[in-house]
Structure 1
Amino acid sequence: MVSKLKQWLYAHRNHRSLTFTDKLIYRLGDHNLAEMSGSLVYFMLLSIFPFLIALLNTLKFTNVFNPEVILEYISMLPDELGTIVYDFVYDLINSSSGGLLIVSIIAGLWTASNGINQVINNINRAYGIHEKRSFLIAKLLSILFAIALIVLIILLVVSQVFGQLILDAVSNYIALDAAVELLIQVARYAIPFIFMVIIFTLLYKFAPKSEVRELLTLKLILPGALFATIGIGLMTFSFGFYVSNFSNYSVTYGSLGGIIVMLIWMYLVSLMLLLGGEINATLYSMTYFPDLNKWPRSDSIIKNFIGTFTSPVTTDN
């Protein structure tokens, strides 16, 4: 069995799909993605609540819609995590002051941008480069993406809340057949998905420094954006289902159970974001540095397994 596997790997060692998978797995270990995701959690933890302050104050005082709608969507989070966020959001909605609106938004965006700035730094590391932007430019880029995330959440809520309201209002005057209603329902979920893909595509496009950014085509950044979008969605749903049905962190950690769940969820989100960056960086390497793909390539996880032989292995090891 081992010899057949080695023979198959050697025979397909230069196939594009295997080369991509081989290089990607190697890079995940070489770039210490698990450790990088853990360090990113620290910045996300410091950023998430200032981000919520900026978001909720923007919603509350622009009168777009009632910010309490946000509370309904917290139920999508794992129970322990939802409890922490719900209490914070509820207190904020009922205690925010209009006089501190601008100050809270600016402070929230400034602090929240620190987490995004760390994501940008980690994406640059995936390409093997170091961030050399000035502090002002880097901070401005991070703030812009923080604002983009606020817009994304607003559009998400609008599409979900007002989408149903519009559907109900139209149904009162016009008899909609099942196909039209299905189309509208699909659009309600497709729109947020598209928004997320756009945001992540822009993030993966503008995070690297200019020398690399100029070479990044849509074909090289869309795969990572799609992976991050789908991955975060599936991970959040699966993790929430697991926590709600198969695990009880409060038994193990007591009152810290909610915090532990939050940290694990943030870690998984960070991992998906960085995996998306590594996917794009691997495609970039294969496109612009084809010599590095030739066997025996240095960034290979299977090289040590099958060796550098020139004929198929015939005996098991």
Structure 2
Amino acid sequence: MNSSSTEHRNDPADAPHPEDDRKPDSPTEVTKPSWKYILRTTVREFSADGCTDLAAGLTYRTVLSIFPALIALVSILSLFGQSESSVTAVLDQAEGIVPADMWQTVRPALESILTAPAPGLGLIIGLLTALWSASSYTKAFGRAMNTIHDVPEGRGAIKLNVQMYLLTALFLILGVIGLLIFVLSGPVAQAVGDAIGLGGVAVTIWNVVKWFVLAAIVVLVVDLLYYATPNVKQPKFRWMSIGALLAIVVAVLASLGFFLYVSNFGNYNATYGALAGVIIMLLWIYIINAILLFGAEVDSEIERGRELQAGMPAEEELQLPARDTKASDKREKKYQEDLERGRNLRESAGRSQEDPHRTGKPDAQR
């Protein structure tokens, strides 16, 4: 299904509308043969698209992005006077889950974030640094999504960077909201419970509900990565949640299984020594990124199954229009110009061989 060249993509004016009425409108309307086809092609496309290599690249981008992003989060939280308490609460919760080897490596770096500059110049510098650094992951994820959807990047540099910076800023805001819910929700729930006469009951209820709210934020972040980063006009936003939900569930289960194995059966210290914590962290990040890309493949192949069931020729490439083709059209034009120059060089060499006197060299040197 991945054609040899992704530069030849449906023109946005010619491609069917993403919400073409011929497509099944809900998962229940997708036929059993279509689901079998989707499952079979998802596994094959995950390998064909080189998603394991893409996950390795995303792991590198994650390491570059994560600490500047955390510094920006702490800077924003300091506006509410909650930076130290928020990070400390999260660290205390994580300590009981994360393997000891990994925790000994990561915790000092996370605790140093508490020394981030106070609001003011430090906040501005931290946010700008985070947007520049953390957006590298967002852009890399977009390139991986383009590979999965078989579409070239057609957005110009300015347009692409503005979109990715805005999307990264939204992720930071959602992260702040999640941390505030995690830290501040208890006292707020207690105050509301006292006001309505429920007291501790409200706190107990909220301690359960808040995890669903936090889960909803995680789902929204993954949905946005799937929906907004690739250069392709997606169907309705709700269609992207199937792969996202699958990825999140598998990522949680895989994380629990991985941490359980490392804590009880793995012996990374014997192999890597002082680097054991770093290796464990990198391996875990790699697993998460690979799962996220698999979820994206699920969404892509579900869309392919919808299109095939609607009678569209989606066997080789999805019948979705690109968001923009300006940059890819320019690259294609330059590529064709280079082909023409190469052809002229070849033909010129051929004429020289046919007419040896054009080169001015003796016959013995020819």
Range with greater deviation from structure 2 (159-168 or 32-41): 159-168
1:56 aligned to 2:74? yes
1:67 aligned to 2:89? no
Name the structure 1 match of 2:299: 280
Name the structure 2 match of 1:302: none
Name the structure 2 match of 1:244: 263
Name the structure 2 match of 1:221: 240
Q: Give me the TM-score of the superposition, normalised by structure 1.
A: 0.78
Instruction: Give 1:161's aligned amino acid.
Output: V
Offset, 1:141: 2.1
Offset, 1:18: 1.4
The ranges of structure 1 where at least 4 consecutive aligned residues each deviate by more than 6 angstroms after the TM superposition are none
Offset, 1:175: 4.3
- Within 1, Cα distance between the matches of 2:107 and 2:131? 20
Name the structure 1 match of 2:124: 102
Contact 1:14 1:293 in 2 (8 A): no
Cα RMSD, aligned residues only: 2.8
2:142 to 114, 120, 128: 120
Contact 1:77 1:236 in 2 (8 A): no
Offset, 1:79: 2.9
Contact 2:181 2:210 in 1 (8 A): yes
* Shift in CA distance, 165/236, structure 1 to aligned 2, threshold 3 Å: farther
Determine helix, strand or coil for the equivalent of 1:157.
helix
Deviation per residue, 1:30-62 (Å, 9 max, x gap): 1111111112111111111221222222222x1
Q: Give me the TM-score of the superposition, normalised by structure 2.
A: 0.68
- Within 1, Cα distance between the matches of 2:84 and 2:260? 26
Name the structure 2 match of 1:88: 109
Determine helix, strand or coil for the equivalent of 1:132.
coil
Contact 1:71 1:89 in 2 (8 A): no
* Shift in CA distance, 206/172, structure 1 to aligned 2, threshold 3 Å: closer
* Shift in CA distance, 246/21, structure 1 to aligned 2, threshold 3 Å: same
1:129 aligned to 2:151? yes
Determine helix, strand or coil for the equivalent of 1:77.
coil
Offset, 1:169: 4.3
Contact 2:65 2:136 in 1 (8 A): yes
Range with greater deviation from structure 2 (73-82 or 223-232): 73-82
- Within 1, Cα distance between the matches of 2:176 and 2:98? 18
1:17 aligned to 2:38? no
Name the structure 1 match of 2:100: 79
- Within 2, Cα distance between the matches of 1:271 and 1:48? 17
* Shift in CA distance, 72/177, structure 1 to aligned 2, threshold 3 Å: closer
- Within 1, Cα distance between the matches of 2:40 and 2:134? 35
- Within 1, Cα distance between the matches of 2:264 and 2:208? 28
Percent identity of paired positions between Structure 1 and Structure 2: 22
1:270 to 267, 289, 292: 289
- Report how many aligned residue pairs link the two structures: 280
- Within 2, Cα distance between the matches of 1:164 and 1:238? 30
Offset, 1:129: 0.8
* Shift in CA distance, 132/216, structure 1 to aligned 2, threshold 3 Å: same
1:38 to 35, 44, 56: 56
Structure 1 residue runs of 5 or longer lacking an equivalent are 1-12, 300-317
Larger Rg: 2
Range with greater deviation from structure 2 (93-102 or 273-282): 93-102
Contact 1:43 1:114 in 2 (8 A): yes
Instruction: Give 1:26's aligned amino acid.
Output: R
- Within 1, Cα distance between the matches of 2:250 and 2:84? 27
* Shift in CA distance, 293/246, structure 1 to aligned 2, threshold 3 Å: farther
Range with greater deviation from structure 2 (284-293 or 97-106): 284-293
* Shift in CA distance, 141/168, structure 1 to aligned 2, threshold 3 Å: same
Name the structure 1 match of 2:12: none
Name the structure 1 match of 2:169: 147
Contact 1:78 1:244 in 2 (8 A): yes
Instruction: Give 1:80's aligned amino acid.
Output: D
Offset, 1:284: 1.4
Deviation per residue, 1:278-302 (Å, 9 max, x gap): 11110111122446899xx789xxx
Instruction: Give 1:85's aligned amino acid.
Output: V
Offset, 1:89: 2.3
* Shift in CA distance, 172/267, structure 1 to aligned 2, threshold 3 Å: same
Instruction: Give 2:288's aligned amino acid.
Output: V
1:111 aligned to 2:133? yes
Structure 2 residue runs of 5 or longer lacking an equivalent are 1-30, 318-366
Determine helix, strand or coil for the equivalent of 1:67.
helix
